[in-house]
Amino acid sequence: GDSVTQMEGPVTLSEEAFLTINCTYTATGYPSLFWYVQYPGEGLQLLLKATKADDKGSNKGFEATYRKETTSFHLEKGSVQVSDSAVYFCALGSTGTASKLTFGTGTRLQVTL
């Protein structure tokens, strides 16, 4: 079945550092890929998405490219801020009618001054 593997956290960075959170997936067909962010005590917010191979999703300085050849969707940001501290979830959307999302385990990012 479908699965998503994320790098384990927590990831601790200084402000303005470069961020990479790795995500790889296993799926049949041509899934959509998502990054969601969860701030403390809140629900999930869609950060960015890509619906086909070679698509690049971007938002708020974050970006991720759908790489079918490596089955990856790594999240990157050139310069993180303290306000980016949150848990980041990589997710895969199935291509079937059920439209289920399969989530990775989440990666906690802590950005310090």
Partner 1 sequence: GAVVSQHPSRVICKSGTSVKIECRSLDFQATTMFWYRQFPKQSLMLMATSNEGSKATYEQGVEKDKFLINHASLTLSTLTVTSAHPEDSSFYICSAKRASGRVNEQFFGPGTRLTVL
Residues in the chain: 113
Among 3, 20, 79, 105, binds partner 1 (CB under 8 A): 105
Backbone conformation region of residue 16, classed left if phi is above 0, alpha if psi is from -120 to 50, else beta: left
Among 75, 89, 109, 111, binds partner 1 (CB under 8 A): 89
* Residues in 37-76 at the binding interface with partner 1, rule: CB under 8 A: 42-46, 49, 51
24, 36, 69 from 19: Cα distances, Å: 16, 15, 22
Residue given tokens 């310090």 in the structure block: 112
The answer to whether residues 1 and 101 touch, using CB atoms and an 8 Å cutoff, is: no
- From the list 17-25, 54-62, 70-78, 97-105, the region that binds partner 1 by CB under 8 A is 97-105
- From the list 16-24, 58-66, 73-81, 101-109, the region that binds partner 1 by CB under 8 A is 101-109
Residues that bind partner 1 (CB under 8 A): 31-32, 36, 42-46, 49, 51, 89, 93-95, 98-101, 103-106, 108
